[in-house]
Amino acid sequence: MDRNVTPKLSLTRLPRDILLCIVDAILEKNYDHPVKWSWDPDEEPEPRFNPLQTFRDALSLAATCKTFYTDLTGGIYCKDVQHNGSAALLRSAITGNVAGIVRSLDAGADIHIGDATQGVVCKSTRERSATGRVKKIPNRTWHPWDMSDQVTALHWAAYYGHSDVVTLLLERGADIDRRVRLDSRPRIATIYFHDPEPATYLYPANFCCDLVKRNISSGGAFLQSVDKAVAIWTLEHGASPLYFAIKGGDLATSRLLIEKGASLDTHLGTRVHALHQAVASCDVNLVEFLLSINQVANRINTIQDGRRGSALHCLNYDDEEDWHANCQMINLLVSHGCRLDILDNYNNMPVDEAAHDLCSTAVAELIRHGSHLPRFFPSYRPIPEEISIAIGEVLARGLTIPERNLNTLISSEIRGGWWMYPHFYKLVHRTNSIPVSLSGLTLFQWILYWQARPFAYTVLPGQESMLQALAII
């Protein structure tokens, strides 16, 4: 070999310090880029700049050979922890990458860090004059979206059913009952501004199930003297990793968390229990597993959500495909002693909920098991044939349909307020009990209690007459 020949340049021949400088330059690229940007989806289907792309590029460089992998990977993960919100930990939890989680935790990532790596896409249309005509041009704008109070690595892993990741995170010290907030807004929101065309916001995720949304809505309505934004924000808090596992629909991960000691109260703000969630999700297998637990089976009639609804109140009638499974659920719950006559804050029994949602199949099944008749049927139609047949079957067995005493019903406004105000107090003060001095307050006195706290109190239009009426009660 000719000694005068200069060897070919190669990155692998560079000193480690220079390689680290190259990685630093990659990671610092576009740090001064605006926090949001726009693009034309007809020409650019992807954003021109992705805040995570620089770390992906650096990791791609590290993966080119064993030497780079050894010298660079640890430093890249440390930079990610220091400057990128531990995105590697969170993304690895989403994808189920156990090795990525181990490297991130070894680099010092906070196992409970919230996710601030997501983004919101705003879809809108702008008008542009061209060749004498007005052309509508679609536009997309990306905005960072901070979900640091809504999801951690453990919640992501539970939601996507990565049992091995859940196990690893728990072994490394993750709190099995770590509570986060559920954003109750819809994932897709359309907002009309002054322009004729609306803007549509597509949020990265929506973990708030319909059951929790209904509880938040009714809770905010019953807390009439509390500012609505304060009430909703408070009621949104309290979702556990088990909530996310059930929402994600993975039975194995749900069982894993329960067997490792997770609380069965999956959402504290709305008092939603794992049993409520499983019933609302029409997950018969999970309901059977929960009912095999003594603390659930023995309390089946006292496990009530924020609307004072039992498990039977939580049946989901939105999808006709689930109606048969609902009948299985009714049989299962009733066989374990679930009562059919429990009233929620709206004075509704489970049969009333089924009738309200026009699910004759569930109404008939509840009647066969001894339920009262619904309080109301649509006045514009006769009693459905399914229900008439069920009534006939009950009478043919020599049984009677229980009668309802509607004269003893309490106003839902008063009933719900008595229930919600003490619960709201516990949430605000983070306590499990009400002080003796407050335990006997009437609804009117609870309203006065919050009136003395301006941060939460608001007077609604026309409320003055209601306050006067409540003062008499």
CA distance 73 to 445: 62
Inter-residue contact 301 to 319 (CB < 8 Å)? no
DSSP state, 315?
-
Minimum mean pLDDT range among 214-223, 354-363, 463-472: 463-472
Report pLDDT for 290. 98
Quick one: which H or E segment has residue 45? none
Instruction: Say which residue the tokens 């009400």 belong to.
Output: 434
Q: Which of 31-35, 38-42, 174-178, 342-346 has the highest mean pLDDT?
A: 174-178
Average pLDDT, the chain: 82
Neighbour-count burial of 226, counting CB atoms closer than 10 A to its CB (0-12 exposed, 13-18 middle, 19+ buried): buried
Inter-residue contact 444 to 469 (CB < 8 Å)? no
Helical H segments across 196-250, by residue range: 210-222, 228-236, 241-248
Instruction: Say which residue the tokens 């329960």 belong to.
Output: 258
Closest CA to 219 of 442, 416, 425: 416
Counts for the chain of helices (H) and strands (E), in that order: 22, 9
The greatest distance separating any two alpha carbons of the chain, rounded to the nearest whole angstrom, comes to 109
Q: Which of 26-30, 205-209, 253-257 has the highest mean pLDDT?
A: 253-257
Higher confidence at residue 418 or residue 193? 418
pLDDT above 50: residue 220: yes
Inter-residue contact 337 to 301 (CB < 8 Å)? yes
Q: Which long-range contacts (CB under 8 A, 24 or more apart) does 83-90 make?
A: 83/27, 84/51, 84/52, 84/55, 84/117, 85/113, 85/115, 85/116, 85/117, 86/110, 86/113, 87/52, 87/55, 87/117, 88/55, 89/113, 89/153, 90/115, 90/117, 90/152, 90/153, 90/156
Inter-residue contact 340 to 369 (CB < 8 Å)? yes
What are the CA-CA distances from residue 441 to residues 418, 431, 446 (Å)? 9, 17, 6
Report pLDDT for 470. 38
Quick one: which H or E segment has residue 284? helix 284-291
Specify the amino acid at residue 200.
T
CA distance 278 to 294: 17
Report pLDDT for 455. 60
User: What are the tens digits of pLDDT across the range 433-444?
Assistant: 999 999 888 888
pLDDT above 90: residue 358: no
Specify the amino acid at residue 164.
D
Local structure of 152: helix, strand or coil: strand
Stretch 14-19: mean pLDDT, rounded?
65
Report pLDDT for 11. 59
CA distance 156 to 382: 48
| pLDDT band with cut points at 50, 70 and 90 for residue 193 | very low
Higher confidence at residue 441 or residue 293? 293
| pLDDT band with cut points at 50, 70 and 90 for residue 108 | very high
| pLDDT band with cut points at 50, 70 and 90 for residue 27 | low
Report pLDDT for 410. 73
pLDDT above 60: residue 371: yes
Contacts with 85 (C-beta within 8 Å, 6 or more apart), sequence order? 113, 115, 116, 117
CA distance 74 to 76: 5
Q: ∠ at Cα 303 (302, 305), nearest 5°?
A: 120
Length of the chain, in residues = 473
Output phi, psi for 52, to 5 deg: -95, -10
Specify the amino acid at residue 251.
L
Neighbour-count burial of 386, counting CB atoms closer than 10 A to its CB (0-12 exposed, 13-18 middle, 19+ buried): middle
Stretch 18-31: mean pLDDT, rounded?
63
Structure token pair of residue 267: 């959402």
Please count the other Cβ atoms lying within 10 Å of the Cβ belonging to residue 82: 12
Strands 180-181 and 272-273: unpaired
User: What are the tens digits of pLDDT across the range 132-157?
Assistant: 566 676 777 777 788 999 999 999 99
